[in-house]
Structure 1
Amino acid sequence: MPDLAHSLLRPLRWSERTLDAVIAPVVVTAMAALIGVITLQIVSRVFFTAVGWTEEVARFLLVWITFLAATLAFRRGRHIAVTFVVDALPGLPRRLARIAALLVALGFLLGLVVIGWEYMQVQSFQKSASLRLSMTWVYAVIPLSAAIMAWYALVDVIGLVLGEAHEPEEEAP
């Protein structure tokens, strides 16, 4: 059974690593862009006339960085959690408690996908003040990041059901 579980989980874990490998550089690039935009905003205000679009771009970048970085934190098990009771449980009860917690998180995340999608649709007619960008693009990160975290939770549930003792991955040194 362990070999079967491992072969079933291999493509799922590969998909997690692939998503992570795509999201991490996007977050780093967005952080660099955020630093650049804020620097431009400060320099332009001090020495010239303020550049109008910088505040809006900074705000939108911060929203996207927050949600996308949350997916990275979720995969690595870095979100706030009180685990001392679960950690104190022996084998099977610990695994069942982790499955239950992941199922609750999965339910929440799927709800967030639906609500985020609806909110994105409601705001689709609205344009941002400076850039005239459709607010759909700004709010699209909500259902996107919730769907990614839901996928991570689902893969972890499948792994625990199949008996894999998967701990959240640590960042590479």
Structure 2
Amino acid sequence: MHPHASSLLGLLRRSERVVDAAIAPVVFTAMAALIAVITLQVVSRVFFTAVGWTEEVARFLLVWITFLAATLAFRRGRHIAVTFVVDALPGLPRRLVHLAALLVMVGFLAALVVIGYEYMQVQSFQKSASMRLSMTWVYAVMPLAAAIMAWFALVDIIALVLGESPSRAEEPAA
């Protein structure tokens, strides 16, 4: 591989690691907040009067955790995949099928960015029942997570085109 291409790919992979490193503590913090909010909800219902906003916060946190954690799983190659047929293929056909799958993923994720953004706009007038939070903020995670996963898929496409492996299994765990 050309040294400039290798350098570019290295830069792209570092950008992936930076994004991943920024999202991981957000997901962890949101999980801890979700546990705290649900605990407050249960304790308040059992011993006192229910705290009204806890159900809403728990629901919103779960939505954000789901989408952001999906980006982490995507980067690490942890999403469910049936690969036995592709794995049985020899070198070039395997790479071409993998490339085709990545292109389909980018198309799907690009559509999700557009649809998610449009859905955000449609819901922008709506406020949540308890906290009066604009629903734009709740739905913003959909196009954000799709864009991040599309970026990760594009880096994989570039790696494949440059003759490198896009496999996440080769990277050390963070």
TM-score by length of 1: 0.97
Which residue type is aligned with residue 63 of structure 2? V
Aligned to 1:73: 73
* Cα distance in structure 2, aligned partners of 1:158 and 1:165: 10
Aligned to 1:102: 102
Which residue type is aligned with residue 81 of structure 2? A
Which residue type is aligned with residue 106 of structure 1? V
Structure 1 gaps, min length 5? none
Aligned to 2:24: 24
* Cα distance in structure 1, aligned partners of 2:125 and 2:4: 49
Aligned to 2:125: 125
8 Å Cα contact 1:5/1:163 also seen in 2: no
- Displacement of 1:51 in angstroms is 0.2
Provide the aligned length of Structure 1 versus Structure 2: 173
8 Å Cα contact 1:67/1:141 also seen in 2: yes
Which residue type is aligned with residue 97 of structure 1? V
* DSSP 3-state at the match of 1:99: helix
RMSD over aligned CA atoms reads 1.2
Aligned to 2:140: 140
Which residue type is aligned with residue 22 of structure 1? A
* Cα distance in structure 2, aligned partners of 1:4 and 1:91: 24
* Cα distance in structure 2, aligned partners of 1:56 and 1:171: 37
Alignment of 1:1-173 (within 5 A): 1-169=1-169, 172=173
* DSSP 3-state at the match of 1:168: coil
- Displacement of 1:171 in angstroms is 6.7
* Cα distance in structure 1, aligned partners of 2:166 and 2:145: 22
* Cα distance in structure 2, aligned partners of 1:125 and 1:118: 13
- Displacement of 1:52 in angstroms is 0.2
Cα deviation 1:19-51 (Å, max 9, x = unaligned): 000000000000000000000000000110000
Structure 2 gaps, min length 5? none
- Displacement of 1:80 in angstroms is 1.2
The share of aligned pairs that are identical, in percent, is: 80
- Displacement of 1:10 in angstroms is 1.1
8 Å Cα contact 2:157/2:166 also seen in 1: no
Q: 1:75 to 1:92 in 2, by over 3 A?
A: same
- Displacement of 1:2 in angstroms is 5.0
* Cα distance in structure 1, aligned partners of 2:160 and 2:50: 54
8 Å Cα contact 1:76/1:171 also seen in 2: no
* DSSP 3-state at the match of 1:124: coil
- Displacement of 1:4 in angstroms is 3.5
